[in-house]
């Protein structure tokens, strides 16, 4: 027994000596934290609004977020998708037109692009003109007398020579040809491009075909606070017929002698005869944004709900005023809840369950309408709040600034012109600002700022996303967040380190 116990003591002692012999007495404590510069990146994105569609020679061209999608037939599956900008670096494609045989697209607020569609299924991007080159932030495009006009924030540009009209105006409607010259609605006033003369009242105009019985006339929409009037104007831009509707009028389309008015909750259409609106039809569809003909009876309809095919009259597929071939997308998202692993977000158009970096699915659950986005947050270095503006509805300054206040200092950070903050979130010590153009991350210049009587704000990162961004939910791991856009889908944004190159740069 004694010999056995002695052997065990010897083994333990030898083990301890061996362990000591293996220890590196030259060990020096090192800071192994990642010192690489971190950049804000969009790591995942799902959903969004299909804002516009153009059908040419049986091929659909569809603006879906930052992508141009190409489809055919009933539009169930894209043949091709082309992204204009890298993820997180551009707005949505919100308008399409044909000009000189090419396809022209509007990247909202950012650029106008041009594709060669001589091979219809394989459009080739041949030109991109940025907002900086245009001198305006583009919001609409329209071909008038073979001239392409681009309207937007700060005026209207004629593409042929780059001349700018109505400089300084904020314009989202399309330019049209009138007997007085090219004109465009500015808010609710129709203005001539050449001399800014007021010639009528409308928020949008669409030229009428000869069959409508109003030579040189227009369909018009006049948007108000509670609803909109849709009707007809003669060539003098005077109303000759009109009907009032509740809600927001998104677009007017004239196809084959029929006028279509697209609202958030329904599509209304009329036959156009003898200068009158006749035989109206009312199609209940939530979230439609645009419509294009596939045949005399079939119409491609797109919007925040996704896309589908409308059958106007009875046919072999069933009764009229019905949809088939629906492809749903999480496009309109007004409410959102986050449990750390999943987002439940949606609106009256439907609620979606989004597992982080996964595929969203329709859910029968809903979010209480009592939840609202945060407009004021407390950070370690200051309190931040979205500015409430000057209370003047005409100037619309709510959300144009972020007010910061620490125990020793106050300061203000201003957003770019015509960009408005919607939500604030504290993420890993930084302030994430969700706004109408995407996300901006702000921080204090240094940790001492809030205690030495100054407060300096710096921009750490920025993403250009289809907005407005209404919700930002911090990830549990830090350095990132899940974002939810009103009409731009949802996704994940994170600060990531650039990986070093495997091949060293050559010395010169």
Interatomic CA distance for residues 494 and 479, integer angstroms: 6
Flag whether 2 is in a domain: no
In terms of domains, do 151 and 278 share one? yes
Flag whether 503 is in a domain: no
pTM: 0.86
In terms of domains, do 113 and 153 share one? yes
Query: pLDDT at position 372, please?
Result: 85
The residue out of 284, 300, 328 marking a domain boundary is 328
In terms of domains, do 223 and 137 share one? yes
In terms of domains, do 378 and 482 share one? yes
Burial class of residue 494 (count of CB atoms within 10 Å of its CB; 0-12, 13-18, 19+)? buried
Query: pLDDT at position 245, please?
Result: 95
Q: Cα dihedral sign for 18, 19, 20, 23?
A: positive
In terms of domains, do 445 and 491 share one? yes
In the sheet that 189-192 helps form, which strands lie side by side, from edge to edge?
176-178, 181-186, 189-192, 198-201
| Residues recorded for the chain | 508
Flag whether 505 is in a domain: no
The residue out of 271, 298, 328 marking a domain boundary is 328
Half-sphere exposure of 102 (CA within 13 A, CB side): 15
In terms of domains, do 220 and 303 share one? yes
Provide the residue range defining the domain that includes 180: 48-328
- pLDDT tens for residues 474-488? 998 878 999 999 999
In terms of domains, do 238 and 378 share one? no
Flag whether 18 is in a domain: no
- pLDDT tens for residues 226-256? 899 999 999 999 999 999 999 999 999 999 8
- pLDDT tens for residues 274-315? 899 999 999 999 999 999 999 999 999 999 999 999 999 998
Low-confidence ranges of the chain (pLDDT < 70): 1-36, 369-370, 391-396, 446-453, 498-508
**What 3-state class would DSSP assign to 19?**
helix
The residue out of 313, 328, 343 marking a domain boundary is 328
In terms of domains, do 318 and 203 share one? yes
Interatomic CA distance for residues 174 and 244, integer angstroms: 22
Interatomic CA distance for residues 267 and 308, integer angstroms: 13
In terms of domains, do 221 and 90 share one? yes
In terms of domains, do 344 and 492 share one? yes
In terms of domains, do 164 and 251 share one? yes
For the chain, the straight-line distance linking the first and the last C-alpha, in angstroms and rounded, comes to 77
User: Is-contact 491 482, C-beta < 8 A?
Assistant: yes
For residue 266, the tally of other CB atoms under 10 A from its CB is 16
Query: pLDDT at position 188, please?
Result: 94
Element (H or E) spanning 218, and its range? Answer: strand 218-223
Flag whether 508 is in a domain: no
Flag whether 41 is in a domain: no
Query: pLDDT at position 499, please?
Result: 59
In terms of domains, do 79 and 226 share one? yes
Domain count, the chain: 2
CATH number at residue 69: 2.130.10.10
**Rounded alpha-carbon distances, angstroms, from residue 82 to 63, 159, 254:** 10, 24, 28
């Amino acid at each position: 027994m004694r010999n056995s116990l002695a052997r065990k003591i010897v083994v333990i002692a030898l083990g301890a000596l061996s362990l000591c012999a293996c220890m590196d007495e030259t060990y020096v404590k090192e800071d192994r934290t990642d010192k690489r510069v971190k950049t804000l990146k969009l790591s995942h994105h799902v959903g969004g609004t299909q804002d516009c569609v153009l059908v040419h020679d049986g091929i659909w061209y569809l603006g879906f977020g930052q992508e141009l999608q190409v489809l055919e037939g009933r539009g169930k599956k894209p043949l091709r998708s082309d992204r204009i900008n890298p993820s997180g670096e551009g707005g949505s494609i919100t308008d399409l037109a044909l000009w000189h045989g090419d396809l022209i697209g509007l990247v909202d607020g950012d650029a106008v692009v041009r594709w060669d569609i001589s091979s219809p299924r394989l459009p080739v991007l041949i030109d991109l003109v940025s907002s900086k080159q245009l001198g305006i932030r583009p919001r609409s495009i329209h071909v008038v007398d073979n001239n392409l006009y681009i309207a937007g924030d700060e005026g209207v540009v004629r593409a042929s020579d780059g001349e700018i009209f109505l400089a300084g105006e904020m314009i989202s409607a399309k330019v049209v040809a009138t007997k007085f010259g090219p004109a465009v609605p500015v808010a609710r006033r129709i203005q001539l491009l050449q001399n800014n003369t007021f010639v009528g009242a409308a928020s949008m105009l669409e030229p009428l075909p000869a069959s409508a019985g109003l030579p040189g006339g227009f369909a018009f929409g006049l948007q108000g606070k509670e609803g909109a009037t849709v009707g007809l104007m003669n060539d003098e831009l005077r109303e000759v017929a009109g009907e009032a509707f509740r809600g927001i009028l998104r677009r007017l389309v004239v196809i084959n002698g029929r006028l279509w008015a697209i609202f958030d909750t329904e599509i209304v259409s009329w036959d156009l005869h003898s200068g009158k609106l006749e035989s109206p039809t009312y199609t209940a569809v939530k979230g439609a944004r645009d419509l294009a003909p596939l045949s005399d009876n079939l119409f491609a309809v797109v919007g925040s709900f996704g896309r589908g095919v409308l059958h106007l009259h009875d046919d072999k597929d069933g009764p009229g005023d019905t949809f088939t071939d629906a492809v749903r997308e999480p496009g309109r998202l007004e409410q959102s809840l986050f449990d750390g692993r999943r987002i439940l977000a949606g609106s009256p158009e439907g609620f979606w369950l989004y597992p982080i970096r996964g595929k969203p699915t329709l859910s029968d659950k809903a979010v209480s309408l009592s939840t609202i986005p945060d407009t004021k947050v407390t950070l370690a270095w200051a309190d931040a709040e979205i500015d409430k503006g000057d209370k003047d509805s005409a100037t619309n300054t709510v959300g144009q600034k972020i007010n910061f206040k620490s125990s020793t200092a106050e300061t203000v950070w201003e957003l770019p012109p015509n960009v408005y903050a919607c939500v604030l979130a504290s993420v890993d010590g930084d302030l994430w600002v969700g706004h109408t153009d995407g996300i901006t991350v702000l921080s204090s210049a240094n940790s001492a700022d809030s205690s030495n009587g100054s407060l300096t704000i710096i921009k750490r990162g920025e993403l250009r996303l289809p907005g407005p961004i209404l919700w930002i939910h911090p990830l549990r791991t830090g350095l990132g967040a899940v974002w939810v856009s009103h009409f731009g889908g949802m996704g994940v944004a994170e600060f990531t380190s650039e990986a070093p190159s495997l091949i060293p740069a050559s010395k010169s």
